[in-house]
Amino acid sequence: MVVAAVMLWLGAAAASAQLPPPGAWQEAAAYLRLFAPFGTRAGAYRIFVTTLPIDRLLGPPGAWVPAPVVPSDAFGQTGSYDRSRLARLYGARRPVVARGPRGAAGRPAEAWTLVSPYPNRELTRLESGTMLIVVDLRWPLSDDPRRDLRDTYK
């Protein structure tokens, strides 16, 4: 039942930012220092983890397309993580990643990245579940409320 609720929740469009359903996801704020940007921009990021594999979270076929990518593409270049250590941790294995917008069509409120497997916080082993990195696209970059991340990445 939890899996069905998560799949429906992932597939449904929402007008505003939402948090993952309780029980399936745990907030993992300790990962922010690794994968979020430095400074005030970090406030736009939230990270969650679950023991569920990515293929059980994606909903109907075609809704989100998972693909294996190199670790630096999965986690981006903004955080303070050791890129070479992460690459060595994955070795020849590639994390499976699914990305997509969340929110109203045409003006998403969030950008989601799901990664499986994901590293532990010390980058010493891979966890078998899925990590969810949420970026709030409405989070302002400046004092001007008219400018936000959606306008930056058009």
What are the tens digits of pLDDT across the range 57-105? 887 666 688 999 999 999 998 899 999 999 999 999 999 999 988 887 7
- Element (DSSP H or E) covering residue 99: strand 96-104
> Listing from the earlier edge strand, what are the strands of the sheet with 130-136?
26-27, 45-50, 130-136, 107-116, 96-104, 67-68
- Comparison of pLDDT for 127 and 107, the residue scoring more: 127
Name the band, by pLDDT with cuts 50, 70 and 90, for residue 41.
confident
What average pLDDT does the chain have? 80
Radius of gyration of the chain (CA): 15
Tell me the whole-structure pTM to 2 decimals. 0.77
Domain coordinates in residue numbering, the chain = 29-152
| Amino acid occupying residue 23 | G
CA distance 88 to 124: 10
Name the band, by pLDDT with cuts 50, 70 and 90, for residue 153.
very low
CA distance 47 to 8: 20
Q: Tell me how far apart the 2 most distant CA atoms of the chain are, in Å.
A: 45
pLDDT for 142 beyond 60: no
